[in-house]
Amino acid sequence: MSKISLKIYRLFTLISRFKDLLFCATVAFASSNALANDAVKDGAYLAVAGDCISCHTAPGGKPFAGGLKMANQFGYVLTPNITPDMETGIGAYTKDDFFRVLHNGVNKKGQDLYPFMPYEAYTKVTRADSDKIYDYLRTVPAVSNAVVVNNLDFPFNIRSSMIVWRELFFRAGVYKPDPTQSAVWNRGAYLVEGLGHCSSCHSPRNLMGAIKDSKAYSGSVIDGWYAMNITSNPLTGLGKWSAEDIARYLKTGSYKDKTTVLGPMTEVVHNSTGKMTDMDLLAMGTYLKTIPSNSSLSENRKKVDATHLNGARLYIDNCGGCHQSSGRGITGVIPPLAGNPVVMAEKPNNIIKVMIEGIKQRDGYIAMPSYAASLNNQEILEISNYVRSSWGNGADPNTTKSLVENIRKNPGL
């Protein structure tokens, strides 16, 4: 072989090897991009399951840019900006920083977070899922929105006050599957106890703002609305619901011929559970069905005559035309009051708020007008107690005039 031919051969060999290396690099890059895209896609779904957007988006604000006001007896906080903005968001956060927020409730500055952020639930989120949520949040549009988070009263506005709270009420720990339960049950437990942070709204809290473990999931007042008892209690909870009923309610916001979502739960269905897979929602229903029956209802609750003249008269005059004299409503058009979990809840807040504020059209049901101008506080009290104790509902007729007055004066509570 001549020297020229040998040089040409070597040149072609080098070109061939370069092509092979380029091909391998291209495949590796494409594979890496595919994995990254999968992580972002999974992270977007996990962020939906955690309902991040509802708390980190102010009314009329940009998604995830923070500023939503969250109040309690100690004042209020504004939710932080979690877009990837470097100055006002979490653009400077690493994956380790982000996981520390979820798992330990500590921000990048080393400050303890206030439990408005449900890190007592998010601590159960796995590191893999935390990383995926982080990957997703890095892809949302960065928004410059500086938020002054802490607006609490003294001494709670001092971050170090959280040291005592954490010591008493917080235990970090990733969710560990129960080997005695099915994979479906464990998935449901992970979503309900962790990402879904259901206990944060559906559990009463003590004077220090911590969940009362003995009453977990037994219901609580949120923004003036009553977050339902979601234990397996047959009277006030989910005891008579099937796992499929629960899954359908979380998907559609409606329990056919029984009830529809109200208040903050409407937003949860719209932003979170309504976008989750049927498999995950069934898993959540499966787990919720096993939460022990719990309720703070007195076994010796008061009873009233369901035919009480004034309550019955007011109901017939104002409600009977739509909800019917028997409280059965009209299928698919007007929800029933008989057997409705909202009506039979431990506290009557939801009935009162609906009568005062009305409800917009939703889930196929027609709108209900506000009765704030046509009914006084005493009349709302009597209608509320009437429907709670009629048609076999058997709930405690515990509506008080002071409660009606408070809800009327403070519609945002």
Alpha-carbon gap, residue 69 to 312, rounded angstroms = 40
Residue 201 assigned as binding residue: yes
Residue 52 assigned as binding residue: yes
8 A C-beta contact, residue 396 and residue 300: no
Residue 198 assigned as binding residue: yes
Distances (CA, A) of 134 to 80, 99, 140, 161: 15, 9, 10, 29
Question: Other C-beta atoms within 10 Å of 9: how many?
Answer: 11
Residue 197 assigned as binding residue: no
Residue 103 assigned as binding residue: no
Q: With CA atoms as reference, report the closest residue to 401 among 387, 380, 383, 386.
A: 380
Residue 56 assigned as binding residue: yes
8 A C-beta contact, residue 215 and residue 296: yes
8 A C-beta contact, residue 137 and residue 84: yes
Alpha-carbon gap, residue 90 to 142, rounded angstroms = 9
Residue 323 assigned as binding residue: yes
8 A C-beta contact, residue 392 and residue 320: no
Residue 24 assigned as binding residue: no
- Torsion, CA 178, CA 209, CA 269, CA 372, rounded to 10: 150
Residue 270 assigned as binding residue: no
Binding residues: 52, 55-56, 198, 201-202, 319, 322-323
Known binding-site positions for heme c: 52, 55-56, 198, 201-202, 319, 322-323
